[in-house]
Amino acid sequence: MAYTIPVENLSGKVQEMTLGTAGRTVAVGGGTTLPFHTFEGVKSNRPVIAIEIQDVPPADWPDEVRAQYDAVSGDTVTWAKYCQDTLKADAIALRLTGTHPDRENRSVEDAVATIKSVLDAIEVPLIILGSNHVEKDSKVLVAAAEAASGRNCVIGKAQEANYKTIVAAALAHNHKLIAMSELDINLAKQLNILITQMGFDAARILTDPMCSALGYGLEYTYSVMERIRLAALAQNDATMQPPIIGDVGMYVWKIKEVTAAEADVPAWGALAERGVAWESVTATALSIAGANMLIMRHPKAVDAVRKTLDELC
């Protein structure tokens, strides 16, 4: 007797969006099935991998990942071009770390100049991320949206405390938007509703339910992402149908497993391999949970995840 694969028919769909301008656009999301269940319906676009850069040298990154960019990270434009041309990034994620008041407290004007220089130098889509300082981001990201007007970028992250000004700027300059909540499906849904009530199209939202690294709450993040995706597909909940983004690199490269010296914990193995494995496993797990875009740091981890996606897709 022949085996018949059981098929689950789901009524919902994941929104699809296009990033970037003509020539180097990237499609994110889409599909009517759970991740990689290609036998059940219309599959989603392959998860997009954006490589992270900063507006200042990454002094706070661990040596193992910082060393990968020593030759280029002194200049943001050079760094961006390296990620595009050499590492073949699907997109570039520019984090404006230097604008944080506790870092270099760079001005709005400095941030705008950096964004314009990067946009002039690259062709792939650009994701513009604030420093995660609520008050400063409200100013920086508004100016960033204007500086990148017409380039169909992603602006983020809009949070409950500052979403109104950031949403208005993304709306005025026709960008996509990252809506970030704190590891709670109800908070994610509430923020998406608040944003759409301002007239922002849900098809232009990327949901960021927050991320966590392997060993530091990954299973909780996985569960939240999975529930969001099930709500979108099985319950046809329109507020849960935007693509999901996982900001992997920043959460992985601050934990002890990727920084502890081999002499201190010899049983953990080589430090150079440890961090790559940690980022690769975290990113792969989140793509299986439903993440449609991943922001990553280490080139070897990016390569490892690409190979896994080649097989899964």
**What's the confidence (pLDDT) of residue 143?**
98
Cα 66 to chain centroid distance, Å, stands at 19
Task: Give a yes or no: residue 156 inside a domain.
Answer: yes
pLDDT of residue 267 exceeding 80, the answer is: yes
Query: What's the alpha-carbon Rg for the chain, to the nearest Å?
Result: 19
Give the CATH number of the domain where residue 65 resides. 3.20.20.20
Task: Give a yes or no: residue 271 inside a domain.
Answer: yes
**What's the confidence (pLDDT) of residue 39?**
87
Percent of the chain topping pLDDT 90: 92
Query: How many structural domains compose the chain?
Result: 1
Task: Give a yes or no: residue 7 inside a domain.
Answer: no
Bridging pattern class, strands 26-29 and 16-19: antiparallel
Domain interval for residue 144: 16-312
Cβ count near 4 (within 10 Å) = 6
| DSSP states of 266-290 | GGG--HHHHHHHHHHHHHHHHHHHT
Task: Give a yes or no: residue 299 inside a domain.
Answer: yes
Average pLDDT of the residues in 86-114 = 97
Task: Give a yes or no: residue 6 inside a domain.
Answer: no
Task: Give a yes or no: residue 197 inside a domain.
Answer: yes
Task: Give a yes or no: residue 90 inside a domain.
Answer: yes
- Confidence band for 48, pLDDT divided at 50, 70 and 90: very high
Task: Give a yes or no: residue 221 inside a domain.
Answer: yes
pLDDT of residue 63 exceeding 90, the answer is: yes
Task: Give every CB contact of residue 86 below 8 A, 6+ residues apart in sequence.
Answer: none
pLDDT, tens only, 111-157: 999 999 999 999 999 999 999 999 999 999 999 999 999 999 999 99
**What's the confidence (pLDDT) of residue 108?**
97
